[in-house]
Chains A and B, each alone.
Chain A
Amino acid sequence: MSFPNAQARILIQGMTGKEGSRMARWMISSGANVVAGVTPGKGGQEVEGRPIFNSVKEAPPADVSCIVVPSAHVLSAVKEALDSNIQFIHVLTENIALHDAVQIRRLAKDKGILLFGPASVGVLHFPDMRIGYLGGEKPFSGQIKEGDIALISTSGGMTNELMAALSRAGLGIRLAMAIGGGQVVGTGLSEAIALAEADPDVKRIAVFAEPGQPLLRELRRGWKPSKPFILMLPGAALDLLPRGLPYGHTGTILGEDEPTVVQTREDIRKQGVACAATVAEFVSLMKQTYV
Chain B
Amino acid sequence: MKLIEADGKRLLREIGVAVPVGFLFGEPATFSGPGYVKAQVLKGGRGKAGLVQRFEKPEEISGIIENIKSKLGTLSCEGFLVEEEAPHVKQWFISIDLDRAAGDWRVNIGEGGMDVATAHSQLVASFQDEKFGTLVRVLMDGMRTHRLQSLEINPLAERADGSFVALDAKIVKEDESTVSSVELDGDIALVLSGGGASLVALDALIAAGGKAANFVELSGNPDPEVIRQTALRVFSKPDLKAVWVAGSYANFTDIAAMLSAIRAAYDDAGLSIPFVVRRDGPNADQAQTETLAWAEAKHIPCLFHRADIDLEASAKALISLL
Tell me the A residues contacting B by CB distance below 8 Å: 19, 22, 26, 94-95, 97-99, 102, 105-106, 121-122, 133-137, 153-161, 164-165, 168, 178, 181, 183-185, 188, 190, 208, 210, 212-214, 217-218, 234-238, 240-242, 245-252, 277-280
Contact = CB atoms under 8 A, between A and B. Distances in A.
29 contacts: A94-B219, A95-B177, A98-B149, A121-B252, A154-B195, A155-B197, A156-B194, A156-B251, A157-B194, A157-B197, A157-B247, A158-B197, A158-B200, A159-B251, A161-B307, A165-B310, A183-B98, A184-B104, A213-B100, A235-B199, A238-B199, A240-B206, A246-B177, A247-B178, A247-B215, A248-B219, A251-B100, A278-B310, A280-B312
Contacts of B200: 158, 161, 234, 278-279
A160 B176 CA distance: 26
A106 B178 contact: no
B250 interface: yes
Give the contact-size bracket for chain B: 35 or more
B33 interface: no
A250 B196 contact: no
B199 A106 contact: no
B56 interface: no
B307 A248 contact: no
Nearest to A139: B251
Contact of A160 (B147, B178, B195, B248): B248
A245 B101 contact: no
Contact of B176 (A95, A188, A245): A95
B103 A237 contact: no
Nearest to B102: A214
B194 A158 contact: yes
B184 A240 contact: yes
Contact of A157 (B149, B179, B195, B202): B195
A246 B179 contact: yes
Nearest to A134: B251
Given A94-B220, A245-B175, A136 B194 contact: no
Contacts of A237: 199, 202-203, 205-206, 212, 215
B267 interface: no
B147 A98 contact: yes
Interface of B: 98, 100-101, 103-105, 125, 143-144, 147, 149, 174-179, 182, 184, 193-200, 202-207, 212, 215, 217, 219-221, 247-253, 280-282, 307-308, 310-313
A232 B149 CA distance: 28
Contact of B196 (A133, A234, A245, A277): A234
B183 to A, nearest CB: 11
A155 B197 CA distance: 8
A102 B197 contact: no
A22 B252 contact: yes
B252 A236 contact: no
Contact of A246 (B178, B202, B220): B178
B251 A157 contact: yes
Given A158-B194, A183-B98, A246-B175, A278 B199 contact: no
A214 B100 contact: yes
Contacts of A250: 175, 177-178
A248 B198 contact: yes
A5 B24 CA distance: 62
A163 to B, nearest CB: 8
Contact of A247 (B100, B179, B184, B252): B179
B182 A98 contact: no
B103 A185 contact: yes
Contacts of B101: 188, 190, 214, 217-218
A251 B282 CA distance: 26
A161 B201 CA distance: 12
